[in-house]
Amino acid sequence: MNSRLVSLALGAVLSYVLVFSLVWSGSTSKIDTELFSSLNGLAANYGIAVLSSITTQFGSEVILALIGLLLYLLSSKENTKIVIGVLFAITISDLVLSILKGAYFRPRPYQTLTPNLPLNLPLGQDEGSSFPSGHATRAFAVAALITMQKGKKYSLLLLLSVGVAVSRVIVGLHFPSDVVGGGFLGIALAVASVAFLSRYVYPRLPPRFFMKGKQDMTLKSVAA
């Protein structure tokens, strides 16, 4: 793993630890409440509520796996790396999330703010710890991994990840610090995934797994 990726991973991990420390100490309570109130209030608008409800699905395991499959079908080379990378990032994210959420429980906004603050919950309620946001973690993990593997032109996927993170607050299921922490965690997991796969998985795959374009041309030649 090159120095840039090491720096990125280290920065993401330290940022996550910082956000968690602030959340655990209660230092984010005031700004979390204020930002949550502003963003969640947008869900009172039907159009915004629907758009946020759709956008938030891009942080789910099924939708992210379908994105990986779509990139596989559209790629002419190194296509298998994308599928393996996306599925690995989703799996490792869920594993880490289960550990972190099991070790620390933070109530959801509707569990702590309902008596004093009207909430909009277009998707209903959710269970489990609010910190970190699982959807934000998975979205950033997959987007960052694809960007590292496919190049900067795919960095726009990170904007979609930001949309997922913001939508989790708009639909009332997370505080802003939950999605910020999830974003940093996702980036760290993406770097770890790329490093692990590049060292232990990709080198052990037969060359034919990375020759989709050439195989397709060969099949066409034989058919002709």
At the top level of CATH, the class of 3-216 is mainly alpha
With cut-offs at 50, 70 and 90, classify the pLDDT of residue 81. confident
More confident residue, 204 or 161: 161
| pTM metric for this prediction | 0.90
Residues 44 and 135: their CA atoms lie apart, in Å, by 22
More confident residue, 155 or 166: 166
Question: Across 16-20, 80-84, 148-152, which has the greatest mean pLDDT?
Answer: 16-20
**In the chain, where the domains are located:** 3-216
Q: What is the mean pLDDT of residues 84-99?
A: 96
Residues 217 and 199: their CA atoms lie apart, in Å, by 30
Residues 202 and 15: their CA atoms lie apart, in Å, by 29
Per-residue exposure over 12-48, b if at least 16 CB sit within 10 Å of its own CB, e if not: bbebbeebbebbeeeebeeebbeebeebbbbbeeeeb
| Residue 138, pLDDT score | 98
Q: What is the mean pLDDT of the chain?
A: 89
| Residue 211, pLDDT score | 57
Lowest-pLDDT range of 17-31, 83-97, 145-159, 189-203: 145-159
Q: What tokens were used for 128?
A: 């489990």
Lowest-pLDDT range of 12-26, 104-118, 124-138: 104-118
Nearest to 184 by CA among 221, 132, 148: 132
The pLDDT tens digits for 7-50 are 999 999 999 999 999 999 999 999 999 999 999 999 999 999 99
Residues 106 and 175: their CA atoms lie apart, in Å, by 10
